[in-house]
Amino acid sequence: MRGVALFMPRLDRMPGVFFAAAPKDLKGMDSSLLDDKMPKRRPKTFGMDMKAYLRSMIPHLESGMKPSKSKDILSADEVMQWSQSLEKLLANQTGQDVFGSFLKSEFSEENIEFWLACEDYKKTESELLHGKAEKIYKAFVHSDAAKQINIDFRTRESTAKKIKAPTPACFDEAQKIIYTLMEKDSYPRFLKSNIYLNLLNDLQANSLK
């Protein structure tokens, strides 16, 4: 039986339509070029690469982002939980990164940096307390500190005395003041910020795909 020849329009010449080359046209092409030009399928995930997201959304903050041990994929549910309390936000490594980026955009990143330094200090071995206490004091508490935190004179003087015979709790008073400052001032603004809302909206939209 003879086949019936059908007229087929040249779709590859239609404006606005793109078709990949046919297999016969790819013969003889360098395989390395094919690797670059052929689209690679990526598994669908209900989350987002946080570092890539933050770089695309706030590229000027990329240099200030620190490597973290947080998982790469973040869910919308996790981000929604950040709105429950500052404690929940700071308990999440990626939450710390995003909130830190927000504070950096407001030129107040010293608050979370000091808070995190205090958290790390509490886990320090006793023989290393003195050296680490001096570094934290000079960086954040001293009146001439480059990243001086906003605490009252009495707390600053009290902390200066405590680090002379350091204990794991010698920064607790100053840390509590800074936590309260972030909780009442920066945290509510963060929840209304484009950084947070865009992230949450993008994750929610991604989860529906």
**Which tens digits make up the pLDDT trace of 87-127?**
999 999 999 999 999 999 999 999 999 999 999 999 999 99
For residue 158, what are the contacts with CB-CB under 8 A and spacing of at least 6?
Answer: 173
- Can you give the residue range of the structural domain that contains 189? 74-207
Full-model pTM: 0.68
- The answer to the question of residue 155 being in a domain is yes
CATH classification at residue 135: 1.10.167.10
pLDDT at position 1 is: 47
- The answer to the question of residue 65 being in a domain is no
- The answer to the question of residue 55 being in a domain is no
- The answer to the question of residue 15 being in a domain is no
Q: How far is CA 51 from the centre of its chain?
A: 6
Q: What whole-number distance in Å separates Cα of residue 97 and Cα of residue 112?
A: 10
The count of structural domains within the chain is 1
